[in-house]
Structure 1
Amino acid sequence: MGVIVAKSPDEWAQAITESFVALSLGSMSGSFHGSVRSSVLGSAATLTEVRTYGSSVVRRSARLVRREPSDDCLFSLHLEGAGAVLQGEHEAWLTCGGGALYDASKPYELRFPTDTRQLVLQVSREQLRNRIVRVEDVCGHALPARHPAVRVLAAYVRELADTCDDLSGDQSAELGLTAVDLLATALRAVAGGDSGVPSGRAVLLASMHAYVREHLADPCLAPGALAHQHRVSVRYVAELFAASGTSPAAFIRAERLRAAHRTLVDPRYAGLTVASVAARCGFTDRTTFTRAFFRAYGRTPAEVRGGCGREA
């Protein structure tokens, strides 16, 4: 885990913005200081230990949401002190061992009148959407420490924070997915009812989606690679994707094309040739890439680039 120590409110504003999303400070005690200690759990999540000393108020305003948008959700597991999460019309008071989920795509406020310690699990909305039908219905509500599902989640997240420095990258990624699964289970359990409970197939498909996005540059990425990585048959991979209305090959190609489009319009990559962009996204033949790109976007890669960088 990397550690950032802040010795003043100004340093704290920078530390939490770098660690989470763009945030601003409200009222702060003059002697306030704190630290954040973060670890990336593959593509599934980031786990951060947050310690604060002195009272503090942190806000994500509507202006910050517009200026620096994020599609992440954050779950705060409260371990010490007092605190509250305010989002929309909901106000969740945090108790030790309990927590709350909040949505970075909307304004929120965090209030901590005392010294605190918490573990924050930051996940993409897509990760939760694969496991919960309506993420917005569970944001801003308290997850009570006494609930059995929350107790299991809390114990797992604590242990993960204590041991993640000793895990390999693959182990961290796999355990990160488990943390997201447990979070979704706790959210559904506290909300009540079984609607939106995903099957193991949905969780497996989400893992395959994440694997594809992390390996787009590999020209050997194919349904067979997905089957091998997830220890299932190629036929079963095809069934999973068919249930979501596509095929593995079509999903891989669509993700490669999206990545290529993002690269072509990003001025940071203006110096890359179109052929280099194609190769970075897993296309081994420029002609095939250009044809597929034109079918998807109605313009050639060179036209989308609009004169930025070289075309050859």
Structure 2
Amino acid sequence: MNERALERTVDIEGLPERFIADLDAADIARGGARPVGGALRIHSRMRTFGAVVLHEVFGSLTEFERRPPWPGSPTWDLVFIDRGTFAYLSEGTWRPASGRLMIGPSGLPGRVRLGPDCRFLIVRMPKALLPAPNRLREEVRFGTHLTLIEESMRAFVARAVRSEKDIAEGESAAVDRILVEMAGAVLLGRLGRDPARASPRAALRERALAELARRAADPSFAPADLARSTGASLRHLQGVFAEAGISVAGELRRVRAEAAHALLRDPAYDGLDMETVAARAGFGSARAMRTALARQLGSGPRALRSGRDRL
């Protein structure tokens, strides 16, 4: 992963980590939305929390093209459709968006028509921090109804983006972690309900991923331990993971890298040396942590810790 597509949505978007703004149509156009056949009738409230960007978008009877995704789609959007309807252009055909939730790479769908009186909540976050990022195909998915965790996330996002309260750096990092964890739960839930994956092997994979997330903070926990805990051989489990484009060791490394990332970005843990951070995240050594962060996020631990202050 290159430097541009590394760990933080705010870096990719060119935003500070704690930022609130009300954007009019001209601001949104400068950000990459181009009106088609008329004025851009849209405005937005934006707020950033660490690596995550939130928007509450209002629009009515307008058509526009969005900025195409960055190469490799480094950020993904969860869009809660609170009010109104919209359609999107797909292979030359306008298709109505169905449901209350849309998930996909930032920038897709590329061309959109809003109906009257629309309101959306958008959560934009780094793909690298989401579970099984290699399993996320570059397509848009819709959810007709919201689950309990999705309803909870929608309510949390609405309250966070609308609040005028200032927030300390440590609180911002905590909100960031909550949103990433919620998004991970939403994605795993949606992927798990895909009929094409509703099989014993898929069930084993989901059970193993849940166990992996629960025990990854233990440095002694290894792929062989995960296999034993699920009652499968390691070879069988590796094959099941490979069907989803992931690996047992890769997922263990990703979860631990995400934990280290959160610790390094939270000023409450600035007193911890790198060996202690590594141990708390589940790594056997600071060197193993550095290798995993470089592979997963394209940056080292010291750069991640110092980089959070960069505006």
Aligned to 1:126: 128
1:162 deviation in Å? 3.5
1:33–1:54 CA contact under 8 A, matched in 2: yes
- List per-residue Cα deviations over 1:41-78 (Å, max 9, x = no partner): 113x11122222432223344xx746xx7511111111
State the alpha-carbon separation in 2 of the partners of residues 118 and 148 from structure 1.
18
1:6–1:12 CA contact under 8 A, matched in 2: yes
Consecutive unaligned residues in structure 1, runs of 5 or more: 18-22, 228-233, 261-278, 283-312
Question: CA, structure 1 residues 101+219, in 2 after alignment: closer, same or farther (shift >3 Å)?
Answer: same
State the alpha-carbon separation in 1 of the partners of residues 167 and 179 from structure 2.
15
Question: CA, structure 1 residues 24+75, in 2 after alignment: closer, same or farther (shift >3 Å)?
Answer: same
Question: CA, structure 1 residues 210+220, in 2 after alignment: closer, same or farther (shift >3 Å)?
Answer: closer
Q: 1:93 aligns with which of 90, 94, 97?
A: 97
Q: Does residue 2 in structure 1 map to residue 23 in structure 2?
A: no
**Count of matched residue pairs:** 229
Q: How does 1:74-113 map to 2 (within 5 A)?
A: 74-84=77-87, 93-95=97-99, 98-104=100-106, 108-113=110-115
1:182 deviation in Å? 1.6
State the alpha-carbon separation in 2 of the partners of residues 162 and 135 from structure 1.
30
Q: What is the root-mean-square deviation of aligned Cα atoms in Å?
A: 4.0
Question: CA, structure 1 residues 105+126, in 2 after alignment: closer, same or farther (shift >3 Å)?
Answer: farther
Q: How does 1:1-312 map to 2 (within 5 A)?
A: 2-7=20-25, 11-14=27-30, 17=31, 23-30=32-39, 32-43=40-51, 45-61=52-68, 65=70, 70-84=73-87, 93-95=97-99, 98-104=100-106, 108-128=110-130, 130=131, 134-136=135-137, 139-163=139-163, 165-191=165-191, 192=193, 194=203, 195-196=205-206, 197-198=209-210, 199-200=213-214, 201=216, 203=255, 205-212=257-264, 221-224=273-276, 226=277, 234=279, 237=281, 240-242=282-284, 247-252=285-290
Consecutive unaligned residues in structure 2, runs of 5 or more: 1-18, 217-251, 306-311
Q: State the AA in 1 paired with 2:114.
A: F
SS of the aligned residue for 1:2 comes to strand
Structure 1-normalised TM-score? 0.58
Question: CA, structure 1 residues 171+179, in 2 after alignment: closer, same or farther (shift >3 Å)?
Answer: same
- List per-residue Cα deviations over 1:21-60 (Å, max 9, x = no partner): xx34252544x433222222113x1112222243222334
State the alpha-carbon separation in 2 of the partners of residues 150 and 281 from structure 1.
29
Identity of aligned residues (%): 16
1:90 deviation in Å? 11
1:206 deviation in Å? 0.8
Question: CA, structure 1 residues 141+164, in 2 after alignment: closer, same or farther (shift >3 Å)?
Answer: farther
State the alpha-carbon separation in 2 of the partners of residues 190 and 280 from structure 1.
34
State the alpha-carbon separation in 1 of the partners of residues 303 and 70 from structure 2.
31
State the alpha-carbon separation in 2 of the partners of residues 280 and 147 from structure 1.
37
Q: State the AA in 2 paired with 1:121.
A: V
1:49–1:118 CA contact under 8 A, matched in 2: yes
Tell which has more relative contact order, 1 or 2 (C-alpha 8 A, sep 6+).
2
Question: CA, structure 1 residues 162+2, in 2 after alignment: closer, same or farther (shift >3 Å)?
Answer: closer
SS of the aligned residue for 1:185 comes to helix
Q: State the AA in 1 paired with 2:49.
A: L
